[in-house]
Structure 1
């Protein structure tokens, strides 16, 4: 089903109304000084910015799109003003429009829209290290990151700073990538082929000091080369669970930023003033996610910073719009076949609060995806499977009641991970559940590694402090001293009952290779487990296969996704309730 279509534009629009000169940190000082002398009086400079677009390119006008951004940039250029367009990461992964060609068309759209700079987010690594580097080469714009290093050489993989000589001033952008990339992408991608050691690092440090030092070093370089405006272009976010690596903490522990364009936490933040280490106020801004807004920053002739978020724009660049439309049509044709009908809405968000729940509690879609993995091995592969797990971060969107297509499944699970079956001990299952639940119940914290389960049930005690052992990259290193997960029970198909987990027994555990084999989200407790079967099917195909097995087929030949129609309804005593947004009660919270 997966098709890779490469479409690449090598020609950037020439003859823009304003000439922008960019130079890397390594340019001779004399050249930098002379270049600055070419400009006269200072003028306003506009910086347009995006973050966490996540390949949501099918917005309808007048909502923002790459075609709208291209038109907006040109409209500013046509007035004779200077404008730059930058992105703060997570642009090539998220929906089928990214995953069907590993982000190639997204980069083409960004090229055509006229992006001038980007920094990699954690999801730029989701297709592997080789693809991440290829994406950087395919882009007509440079990438920057001050804290992505090659441990074999000790050098940065990318430039840490990029200068633009524009509007009579010298603007420097410092790129910053979240150290959470290790566990929110796939740690194995940062290791050697034998997976025995890391060969790349995203500098962070358990207390954040490595990150702060890398950022300050880059700021110091920008100041040394004469920048009068220094802007952070970071993919860090403000979520408490990202501490000590949030943008607010980076600003607070460094000095020299004029402003900071952020991403990662999907926060709508037009302008927040954060005090840096010298006591100066720094503008922090973020657009949200999924093209909710376009950011517009103005660096005034007097150096003042103003920002606004633009949520609609009527203009469209015809060429960019055509590229997007053609690709959307191609993907929709490939994945548009209807395979089932949802009789109820499936949730990742809490219907009562609207907040994302899938990473901290059970939902009916979490149950459904985990059940799909469990059923695939038990019924299609006809292998014995005791338990299936699915990380909440791998389940991406609510699904409204109504028709389901392959595209629906690809949008829910866009990562292209494949299912595998491992032989593990009960203790490894206990450690995994404990690790996934280590932030459960904490206000403002969530965990992409929170585990939705099939063939099992368990209880979390949020009032018990987290004692799971992890390293400075948040990778599991040891069992919890005082478990907060209890009453773990495994479904026994023979008796139709749930039986207590035996730490010393062996179980057949199914999941995605991201979690079970590649240290995804930091699940290192499975290292050394015996592989039973791998590479059986991609994540979205496992889900669609499960949907196709439901009964209740209507006149159009489509099965209906109701609990009573599931093949698991024939398993006596199996916990199943897709009609409840909060699932079947497999995960209990006891305060």
Structure 2
């Protein structure tokens, strides 16, 4: 009989944040360079497996600069994870944003395996390993990798050429049985780049049961020990159905830890206990010198690039309170709408504020202003949308709000289980009024286009980002709309190009919508 104490350490949704900055011109408590020090201290205590659960290589200004200006150079994010001797990585949906060819280079540069049980070559054969077996202090730990299959909804099909992406739950169910039968593992781990549609405490549905986040169903239906999750950027250390669960937020602010105590006799498990927790960065964590060295040159180049002046603003295009912008139209939103309509030749547009931080453009606009405001790698699509679908979309947007003590507030369904500021759209080219005192679904009390009521069967050309065009965010009818045009250029590049062509912009607002209560 032998007893063993070991740990799993988990990162997820790092999104290319290595140095302790969100590139807003200040240092912040985030980034893998600082978390790496914490990881190495933890790793020194017990035998360890270190796993990244996806969305590693995309999402920061550094990764944007790398892809735009240094696409063929070795990826510094992979250099950093190689320095830390990661044991495995799982594909996040954003791993595919730069295309399969780029991702194949990433896999080749990595000193660790990338795992996926539900992404296959078109011929049905495995693209990468579905799982990996790690022998840690004599304990056989099986780790299965799986990614939300909603990649196919969000991603440019050209980026998935030659790949077939299967249902996450069905795939992991199959491979879990294969692994347990053939590998005789002592500990079974599912590392899922996805999250939860149901409450872990009550089992109640908390978001659309679309199949995007199947973590709860995995807990409920499958027999395994530990579930690593991500994608939703939540901070979770919990237990349900006898399984330990972690989800360590985003941008490397925390590391997930699952401690495992296990007793073996004749290679059989006679006792196992596992306990999840999240460990945060603190002020005493120093930057890891090797991780810093792996990214320092690109980081310095990125910082210089971010501060290059592009355009000048006449008037005020800054805001402090994002909620105010969503209730009272702001010049920054006006700018985005006019830009989207200008580059696509349309007269109806919708856009969001993607985060809840202060934002907008300073008097001298730089790339830093662009990438810290427009934080997603969106492109633009023009859809043929019926009047009926427009009205459904306006009502969906109106559901973002609620009344609390007679004050307009955010509907909790847009805050939990994760904040979704990007799923509230503001519209241009439509004159409309929302009455938040009315029930959801009947809040649009007035809506016209060119001073005429919106006819349900009439078709309108509308520009929106590619995420919304897939129907994501509870706009399912957009997924069936004919695509009139598809501008496959990253929006940050579109904005930068537009500003270089219009180096002086004027802050103004044309009021076309109101919110009443």
TM range (shorter): 0.7 to 0.9
Residue in 2 aligned with 1:234? 192
Range with greater deviation from structure 2 (333-342 or 310-319)? 333-342
Distance in 1 (CA, whole Å) between partners of 2:431 and 2:288 is: 52
Distance change (3 Å), C-alpha of 1:421 and 1:74: closer
Residue in 2 aligned with 1:201? 165
| Alignment match of 1:575 (pick from 499, 507, 511) | 511
Distance in 2 (CA, whole Å) between partners of 1:525 and 1:391 is: 21
| Contact 1:177 1:202 (8 Å CA) reproduced | no
| Contact 2:361 2:369 (8 Å CA) reproduced | no
What secondary structure does 1:98 align onto?
A: helix
| Alignment match of 1:502 (pick from 455, 463, 478) | 455
* Greater fraction of residues in strand: 2
Distance change (3 Å), C-alpha of 1:487 and 1:93: farther
The correspondence of residues 344-383 of structure 1 with structure 2, limited to 5 A, is 344-345=318-319, 350=323, 362=326, 371-376=334-339
The question of 1:308 aligning with 2:296 is answered no
| Contact 1:64 1:311 (8 Å CA) reproduced | no
For residue 77 of structure 1, report the CA deviation from its aligned partner: 5.4
For residue 541 of structure 1, report the CA deviation from its aligned partner: 4.4
| Contact 1:174 1:219 (8 Å CA) reproduced | yes
Distance in 2 (CA, whole Å) between partners of 1:416 and 1:119 is: 20
Distance in 2 (CA, whole Å) between partners of 1:251 and 1:107 is: 31
The correspondence of residues 15-34 of structure 1 with structure 2, limited to 5 A, is none
Distance in 1 (CA, whole Å) between partners of 2:214 and 2:436 is: 24
Distance in 2 (CA, whole Å) between partners of 1:121 and 1:385 is: 33
| Alignment match of 2:222 (pick from 254, 257, 264) | 254
| Contact 2:19 2:34 (8 Å CA) reproduced | no
| Alignment match of 2:357 (pick from 398, 402, 409) | 398
Q: Which runs of 5+ in 2 are unaligned?
A: 22-26, 198-205, 264-271, 402-410
What secondary structure does 1:502 align onto?
A: coil
What secondary structure does 1:371 align onto?
A: helix
For residue 254 of structure 1, report the CA deviation from its aligned partner: 0.9
Residue in 2 aligned with 1:452? 426
| Contact 2:17 2:30 (8 Å CA) reproduced | no
Aligned residue-pair number: 464
Residue in 2 aligned with 1:171? 141
What secondary structure does 1:290 align onto?
A: coil
What secondary structure does 1:265 align onto?
A: coil
Cα RMSD of the aligned pairs, angstroms, is: 4.1
Range with greater deviation from structure 2 (53-62 or 431-440)? 431-440
Residue in 2 aligned with 1:553? none
Distance change (3 Å), C-alpha of 1:319 and 1:285: same
| Alignment match of 1:263 (pick from 202, 216, 230) | 230
Q: Which runs of 5+ in 1 are unaligned?
A: 1-39, 194-198, 205-210, 276-280, 352-357, 467-482, 493-497, 551-556, 560-564, 577-583
Distance in 1 (CA, whole Å) between partners of 2:41 and 2:412 is: 46
Q: Deviations over 1:50-98 (max 9, x none)?
A: 112222333268945323344444445556x422211111222222122
Distance in 2 (CA, whole Å) between partners of 1:43 and 1:526 is: 57
For residue 458 of structure 1, report the CA deviation from its aligned partner: 4.5
Distance change (3 Å), C-alpha of 1:67 and 1:534: closer
Distance in 2 (CA, whole Å) between partners of 1:89 and 1:251 is: 20
| Contact 1:50 1:294 (8 Å CA) reproduced | yes
| Contact 2:96 2:159 (8 Å CA) reproduced | no
| Contact 2:191 2:228 (8 Å CA) reproduced | yes
What secondary structure does 2:14 align onto?
A: coil
